[in-house]
Amino acid sequence: MASKYDDIIIDVGGRDTTTQRAALTVADVLLLPFPPRGPDIWTAEKVTVMVKEVRGVNHGLRALAFLNRADRVGGDNVAAAELLGQAEGIELLNARVGDRKAFPNAFTAGLGVAELKRPNPKAVAEIAGLYQALYGADPV
């Protein structure tokens, strides 16, 4: 399919599974959303091990992390970013997606946040920022 499309997105569960590893053997990028909470951040160590193992087969795999469901205020975002920034083999993107009602509302409707009848400007800006960090360009 790579010859037919600019980008192919494979969405797998957030666990180390056979399906996830199979997808990573052919992927260019692994995009890792991390909520700024202890149990979620603690998995970064396991993810670094998995990425290192997969790179034995797929040398060009890029692993990119970002803060997802981030808090509006408080030190948890900063602490989580510091920990993710130290994760070997994972690049921390300068992008943050907040914990906004617009995201589950859009998901339930089968839409992107920009497609909602009344889009939340902050949610749209956060997704545009993630796109910019990932692709180096503004979304079309």
Using one digit for the tens of pLDDT, what is the confidence trace for 83-101? 999 999 999 999 999 999 9
**pLDDT of amino acid 64:** 94
Q: How many domains does the chain have?
A: 2
Do residues 90 and 104 share a domain? no
Do residues 77 and 139 share a domain? no
Do residues 15 and 64 share a domain? yes
Do residues 92 and 45 share a domain? yes
Q: Where are the beta strands (DSSP E) in 35-114?
A: 62-70, 91-98
Mean pLDDT of the chain: 92
Do residues 95 and 126 share a domain? no
Whether the Cβ atoms of residue 93 and residue 80 lie closer than 8 Å to each other: no
Whether the Cβ atoms of residue 97 and residue 65 lie closer than 8 Å to each other: no
User: What residue numbers bound the domain in which 69 lies?
Assistant: 1-99
Do residues 68 and 113 share a domain? no
Q: Where are the beta strands (DSSP E) in 35-138?
A: 62-70, 91-98
Contacts of 20 (CB under 8 A, 6+ apart): 12, 13
Do residues 6 and 69 share a domain? yes
